[in-house]
């Protein structure tokens, strides 16, 4: 093919995801998240190929309320299945949430039953 010419391809990669969260006790949650991706890529001039990738990620998160602040930590082990291959990973999460300056505090104080997202 002459230099500088290429066939155009349009890529479309649908993505489906779902998650479930179960409260084990106040401020401690077991989680299961899943993702199904149909990844399309250019396979050659004017052609595409599609690969199906499924990820299942079991995990846990816990949190602590400290005054008007909250700390949340979590961990998960994502397992990805793609083209007959399986891969594993470790995912860690840390969140610190505090009050926003300029917002007035509510007169009614409540305690969260589970970590805020």
Q: How many CB atoms lie within 10 A of CB 66?
A: 10
- Domain coverage including residue 83: 15-97
pLDDT at 91: 96
Of 64-78, 80-94, 103-117, least confident by mean pLDDT is 103-117
Task: Kindly state whether residue 2 falls inside one of the protein's structural domains.
Answer: no
Report how far residue 62's alpha carbon sits from residue 84's, in angstroms, rounded to the nearest whole number.
34
Task: Kindly state whether residue 19 falls inside one of the protein's structural domains.
Answer: yes
CATH number for position 42: 2.20.200
Which alpha helices (H) appear in 29-70, and where do they start and end?
A: none
Q: How many CB atoms lie within 10 A of CB 89?
A: 11
pLDDT at 12: 87
pLDDT at 33: 97
pLDDT at 5: 57
Domain count, the chain: 1
Query: What would the pLDDT profile of 36-80 be if each residue is shown by its tens digit?
Result: 999 888 887 788 888 999 999 999 999 999 999 999 999 999 999
Report how far residue 80's alpha carbon sits from residue 98's, in angstroms, rounded to the nearest whole number.
34
């Amino acid at each position: 093919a002459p230099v500088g010419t290429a066939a155009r391809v349009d890529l479309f990669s649908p993505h489906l995801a779902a998650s479930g969260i179960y409260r084990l006790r106040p401020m401690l949650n077991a989680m299961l998240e899943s993702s199904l991706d149909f990844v399309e890529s250019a396979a050659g001039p004017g052609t595409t190929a599609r690969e199906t990738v499924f990820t299942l990620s079991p995990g846990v998160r816990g949190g602590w309320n400290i005054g008007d602040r909250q700390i949340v930590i979590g961990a998960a082990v994502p397992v990805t299945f793609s083209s007959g291959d399986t891969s594993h990973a470790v995912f860690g999460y840390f969140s610190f949430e505090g009050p926003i300056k300029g917002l007035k505090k509510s007169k009614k104080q409540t305690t969260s039953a589970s970590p805020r997202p």
